[in-house]
Homo-oligomer: A and B are copies of this chain.
Amino acid sequence: MAGLGAPLLGLEKKSLREQALSALRTAITSGELEPGRHLVETELSEMLQISRGTLREALRQLEQEGLLSAGPRGRLSVRHLDEKEIRDIYAVRAALESLAARTLCELPDRQHVTESLHKAIDAMTEATNGSLEERIESDLEFHRTLCRLTGNETLLHSWESLEGSIRMSIMFAGLEKGVRNMSVDRHKDIVGAIDTGDATLARKTILEHMDTAAANLVA
């Protein structure tokens, strides 16, 4: 009867590897591990209190997410983004999300879609007076929802693979620049466009949103 506190819902006990993954992702996208920083496996494993083997599995994943770059002898360092790379990341992001918007327009029951998106917007509105981190979080949640609602698992997976790079872009440009893109109204426009069911309009709206977002970051 004991020991079943957490594992009831989907909140199962995460493996050490997953914990390390989350911890490192947060450390990197928060700037605690500054870009260019050289990562030493022994150091990290001691910090996180896990073995090198377990750590290395997490590092491979971060490497593939684009948060780490590999040097000459397998040396890993935190990826450094310049302005061109930020624009490139946002170009790919725009391609993915415009596909999402287009797909949502062609969905049979847009009722549930609209509902979920409005819920996400509400969360953003609520976060307006919160911390910068909270606002960014709710914004990303909105866009992640956009991809999830399409029902295209591959699309969602691709977007999530890019999420780390997106976070780095925002962090890199500076959070104060990043929040310029958190306008609730602009996001309402996106939902509105999807509501009309006009795929061309929805795509255009997303592309414009991404364009200005990228411009705001590198400006």
Question: Chain A residues in contact with chain B, CB under 8 A?
Answer: 15, 53, 56-57, 60-61, 64-66, 74, 85, 88-89, 91-92, 94-96, 98-99, 103, 152-155, 157-158, 161-162, 165
Identify which of A60, A85, A89, A154 gathers the most chain B CB atoms within 10 Å of its CB.
A154
Instruction: Tell me which residues across on chain B come within 8 A of A61, comparing CB atoms.
Output: 60-61, 64
Chain B residue at minimum C-beta to C-beta distance from A52: B53
| A208 CB → nearest B CB, Å | 15
| A170 CB → nearest B CB, Å | 15
A88 engages B53 (CB within 8 Å): no
Known: A96-B95, A99-B95. A89 touches B57 (CB 8 A): no
Copies of this subunit: 2
B95 engages A154 (CB within 8 Å): no
Instruction: Tell me which residues across on chain B come within 8 A of A103, comparing CB atoms.
Output: 91
Instruction: Report Cα–Cα, A120/B155, bound state, in Å.
Output: 28
A91 engages B152 (CB within 8 Å): yes
With beta carbons under 8 angstroms apart, the residue of B74, B91, B158 that contacts A92 is: B158
CB<8 Å pairs between A and B, sample of 19: A53-B56, A57-B60, A60-B60, A60-B61, A61-B61, A64-B64, A64-B161, A85-B153, A88-B153, A88-B154, A88-B155, A91-B152, A91-B154, A92-B99, A92-B154, A92-B155, A95-B95, A95-B99, A158-B162
Chain B residue at minimum C-beta to C-beta distance from A95: B99
Instruction: Tell me which residues across on chain B come within 8 A of A152, comparing CB atoms.
Output: 88, 91-92
With beta carbons under 8 angstroms apart, the residue of B64, B65, B99, B165 that contacts A91 is: B99
Instruction: Tell me which residues across on chain B come within 8 A of A94, comparing CB atoms.
Output: 99
Chain B residue at minimum C-beta to C-beta distance from A158: B92
Instruction: Report Cα–Cα, A74/B13, bound state, in Å.
Output: 13
Instruction: Report Cα–Cα, A158/B85, bound state, in Å.
Output: 14
B162 engages A91 (CB within 8 Å): no
Instruction: Report Cα–Cα, A165/B157, bound state, in Å.
Output: 12
| A53 CB → nearest B CB, Å | 5
Instruction: Tell me which residues across on chain B come within 8 A of A57, comparing CB atoms.
Output: 56-57, 60
